[in-house]
Amino acid sequence: MTDSSGQGWQKHKRVVKGGTWTFDFVYDTSNLPDTDIGLVQGDEIVLRFNVGKSSPQKFHRFAAIVESLKIFNDQAKDVVRGTANGKINGPVTRPVTGAVTNTY
């Protein structure tokens, strides 16, 4: 962007396009959370990825689209394992703590 007060110089903003994400998950089918959670291809979601083990916890948050979901049911260990991946669909917050309000 440029304007007359800038004396002709331009300021550019960094923009990253085409970001992707992947996460692996495990949960115990005999000890499910109190809420129903589901992901299917094409879902538009908001993800929160924690950064390390800081206290208070820092994290990135962003809108995303699920591209694929693979489930691996391990009957021997009575757990469900899976991998989800997709595209970033909006701005990614800097590492922050506490509540973050994003409007997408």
Q: Is 86 exposed, middle or buried (0-12, 13-18, 19+ CB in 10 A)?
A: buried
Sign, CA dihedral 5-9-14-18, equals: positive
Q: What is the model's pTM?
A: 0.65
pLDDT the model gives residue 104: 41
Task: Please name which of 90, 44, 38 lies closest in space to residue 67, comparing C-alpha atoms.
Answer: 44
pLDDT in tens, 56-91: 888 888 899 999 989 887 766 667 788 999 999 988
**Residue 91, number of CB atoms within 10 A of its CB:** 13
Question: Average pLDDT, stretch 3-17?
Answer: 67
Position 1, amino acid:
M
Q: Return the top range by mean pLDDT from 4-8, 31-35, 48-52.
A: 48-52
In the structure, what pLDDT confidence band is assigned to residue 4 with cuts at 50, 70 and 90? low
pLDDT the model gives residue 58: 87
Residue 95 contacts residue 60 (beta carbons within 8 Å): yes
